Amino acid sequence: MNPTFDAAALCADYWSTSIIDIHPGSINVRGYPIQDLIGNVSFPQMIWLMLRGELPTDAQSRLLEAALVASVDHGPHAPSIAISRIATSCGLPLNGAMASAINALDDVHGGAGQQAVELYQDIARRLDEGASCTSAVALSAAASESAEMAAAVADGIAAFNVAHGKYLPGFGHRFHPVDPRATRLLAMVDDAVANGVVDGRYAAIARGIEAHLKARKQKPVPMNIDGVTAVIYAELGFAPELARGVFCLSRAVGILAHAWEQRARGERNKGPMPRQLPYRYTGQSARSLPRD
């Protein structure tokens, strides 16, 4: 064995982290003693500290908390919630039911917030680079700004559709003509902009997308919960992947509540629909094996 080999130093470097420093009798999170954090910071503030390295302002924390509260649950028809109840009825403990449900929060169910942030950031980049708008030079400053936004939005949506298909994350809802969560959150974003908490750039981009969709479809296609929480996460400076991660933290609360409620019902092997309702069979009609 190499006498200069230092296993302790190797292990220390292998698991190095800037998040937490633990020694016997001492726990520091991002430099703060845990006993100072306990009772003095909220859970949203703790999430921010863990992910971002610093504590948020009270106003930033309130906006993050609002997004977390709004996304906790959307009923048993949401696949993640249904999975938690099915898994519980199959005998899984709470942690197993939660893990099964959270694993379903991928691109299709649970990924819209991340995708919307990516779309907003792409449109912001196009604005910074100067979106194509041949008539902008002949317009007033306000009209030029509006035209540049419209051009950047149109280019961004077109690029997104080419890369991902016609579905646009964060807009429209299969259940709500107007998502009540989105309405309240957007009002809070506007208040935050008015008070200088965020600058409102991504809220303006999202509204530009709404205007584009309304003109293209000849009817309103308002922001849904994913579109507005994406505005909040983008305005607060969260990376797109963290938008999905933070959504998972929020939805985990609803998943846990439904798993716990299901536990109390004592049902076994709960399927995706009541057994009294038949499914549709579309295969071959009854037939026999050929005989020799």
- For residue 176, the tally of other CB atoms under 10 A from its CB is 15
pTM of structure: 0.89
Q: How far apart are the C-alpha atoms of 70 and 251, rounded to whole Å?
A: 9
What's the confidence (pLDDT) of residue 176? Answer: 74
The answer to whether the beta carbons of residues 82 and 272 sit under 8 Å apart is yes
Question: In sequence order, which ranges of the chain are alpha helices (DSSP H)?
Answer: 7-14, 34-37, 43-52, 58-70, 79-89, 94-102, 112-129, 141-164, 180-194, 201-217, 225-235, 240-265
Q: Is 179 helix (H, G, I), strand (E, B) or coil?
A: coil
Q: How far apart are the C-alpha atoms of 248 and 265, rounded to whole Å?
A: 26
216-262: per-residue pLDDT in tens?
A: 988 989 999 999 999 999 999 999 999 999 999 999 999 999 999 99
For tokens 């942690």, the residue is: 95
Q: Which domains does the chain have, with CATH numbers?
A: 21-55 (no CATH), 111-246 (1.10.230.10)
Q: What is the mean pLDDT of the chain?
A: 91
110-127: per-residue pLDDT in tens?
A: 889 999 999 999 999 999
152-209: per-residue pLDDT in tens?
A: 999 999 999 999 988 899 897 777 777 899 999 999 999 999 999 999 999 999 999 9
The answer to whether the beta carbons of residues 61 and 242 sit under 8 Å apart is no
Q: Is 120 exposed, middle or buried (0-12, 13-18, 19+ CB in 10 A)?
A: buried
Residue 3 has pLDDT above 60, yes or no: no
C-alpha closest to that of 153 among 214, 200, 109: 214
What's the confidence (pLDDT) of residue 2? Answer: 62
Residue 139 has pLDDT above 80, yes or no: no
9-56: per-residue pLDDT in tens?
A: 888 889 899 999 999 999 999 999 999 999 999 999 999 999 999 999
* pLDDT-based confidence at residue 143 (cuts at 50, 70, 90): low
Q: How far apart are the C-alpha atoms of 173 and 217, rounded to whole Å?
A: 15
Q: How far apart are the C-alpha atoms of 52 and 238, rounded to whole Å?
A: 8
Encoded amino acid at 51, one letter: L
Residue 134 has pLDDT above 60, yes or no: no
Q: Is 285 helix (H, G, I), strand (E, B) or coil?
A: coil
What's the confidence (pLDDT) of residue 142? Answer: 58
